[in-house]
Each structure stands twice: as structure tokens, then as C-alpha cells.
Amino acid sequence: MNDTTNPWNEVPLADYEKHMSHETVGQLELLNILTKKYLNAIKPESCIILGVAGGNGLEHIEPLVTKRIIGIDINQDYLDVTFKRHGARLTGLEVLNIDITKDRGSIGRTQMIWAALIVEYIGIENTLLFAGNNLTSDGHLIVTIQSNRKLMPVSPTGIESVKKVGQIFQFIGTEELLKKAEQSGFKLITSEENELPNGKSFLTFHFIL
């Protein structure tokens, strides 16, 4: 069910995408590149996209390779747009309105979970528990977090609505993430850092269960 109390439900998708693609932010483009990279590397038959928003990066999915795609978000409007944009080409696309902080049960085992910029909003434990319940044996978990370097959690772009999500943003420490992932049975395969225009960077970790 759609949680109307969550700040993400107060951010129109147009505002979110405008903010993320702002020249001083550059996050939408980088996330798109990373999504393509890991989809091409893993070539999963099935995958879950946590925090799918408007479906950024789904254009890189090859439907003959990845036959089941589950997009999850807390904002139903985002999911509706994702399905409108990609549902015709990706016949295996499902969109689910789930709050991972409240529901971490199994929705079906998949070979890959893409969790980009969502751990800061749902927490490490919730992310790992959900992944453990929804990955196949030897399944891949890709996590991208921000390295803010003491900058504001939500970069100033003049788009007021996105500031609301700063209320629930929590900084994620690399050491804590890696430690808890290992304790939960995840093995780190690779990691990378990508710089952003505003001085922040993305840290991406590739785990296997």
C-alpha cells in the first residue's frame, strides 16, 4: 500500500528527475550508466530494481535475456510512469508498491537486485534482509551509496519538493555496510567510486549471496 506519510510520496516524478539530472548533480546519467554496466555484466534472467522511480536505466534491459523484471517503489505514481514507459517493450515487467522498511518478505527469488541510492532511506539491515529473502543462491546484489564528503544530503538545485526527503536520509558508512553484508552472508566481489559534478561521489558494491 502507498504510504502517504513517507516524504517520497510528496515529490512529483518530474521534480525528482529534474533534480537528479541537474548539471550540478548529474546523478540520473551516472545511475543510468551503472545500471547498463551491471546488467550487461551479469545478464540476469530475473532482477529486482529497488527504488525504480521512473524506470531510469530499464531501456538497457534485453527482454530476451532478462525475462522477469520487478520494479519496486513506495510511490505509486512513479510505478505507473515506469510501466507506461517500459511495459510494452518489457513484457516481463512487474511494478510493486512496497515499503521495504515494513515488508521485507519474499516476492520471488531473482538473480540480481539493483539497490541504488535507496539504502540511505531504508537502512542497511532492511536492504540486506530483503535481498537475502529475494535472491537466488549465488544471486547478485548491487548497492550504490553516496559519499557526500560532508556536503548536504540533498544538493541544492532550486527544486523545493526534493528537500522533503532529507528528513529520512541517513548517511551510510562503508565499513558498516561491508561488515553487515558479510555477517548476512554476502561476499564482496568488486567495488568502484564515481565522481559527481558537485563534489560528491557514488560508491558501488557488487556482492554475491
List pLDDT tens digits, range 154-206.
555 556 677 778 778 888 999 999 999 999 999 999 999 998 877 788 899 99
Is 174 in a helix, a strand, or coil? helix
Sign (positive or negative) of CA dihedral 130, 20, 39, 143 = negative
The reply to whether 1 falls in a domain is: no
Between 18 and 2, the more confident residue is: 18
What is residue 147's predicted lDDT score, i.e. its pLDDT?
Answer: 83
Q: What CATH number does residue 16 fall under?
A: 3.40.50.150
pTM: 0.90
The reply to whether 93 falls in a domain is: yes
The reply to whether 110 falls in a domain is: yes
- pLDDT tens per residue across span 79-112: 999 999 999 999 999 999 999 999 998 999 999 9
The boundaries of the domain holding residue 14 are 7-208
- pLDDT tens per residue across span 9-29: 988 888 888 877 766 666 888
Q: How confident is the model at residue 1 (pLDDT cuts 50, 70, 90)?
A: very low
The one-letter amino acid code at 18 reads K
Q: Is 146 left (phi over 0), alpha (psi -120 to 50) or beta?
A: beta
Q: What is the mean pLDDT of residues 113-141?
A: 96
- Kindly tell me if the per-residue pLDDT of 152 is higher than 60: no
The reply to whether 142 falls in a domain is: yes
What is residue 21's predicted lDDT score, i.e. its pLDDT?
Answer: 75
What is residue 168's predicted lDDT score, i.e. its pLDDT?
Answer: 82
The reply to whether 2 falls in a domain is: no
Residue 149: CB partners within 8 Å, gap ≥ 6?
Answer: 199, 200, 201
The reply to whether 179 falls in a domain is: yes
Q: Could you give the number of structural domains in the chain?
A: 1
Cell 558537485 sits at which residue? 198
DSSP 200: -
- Kindly tell me if the per-residue pLDDT of 153 is higher than 70: no
What is residue 98's predicted lDDT score, i.e. its pLDDT?
Answer: 95
The reply to whether 57 falls in a domain is: yes
Q: Using an 8 Å Cβ cutoff, are 175 and 153 in contact?
A: no
The reply to whether 181 falls in a domain is: yes
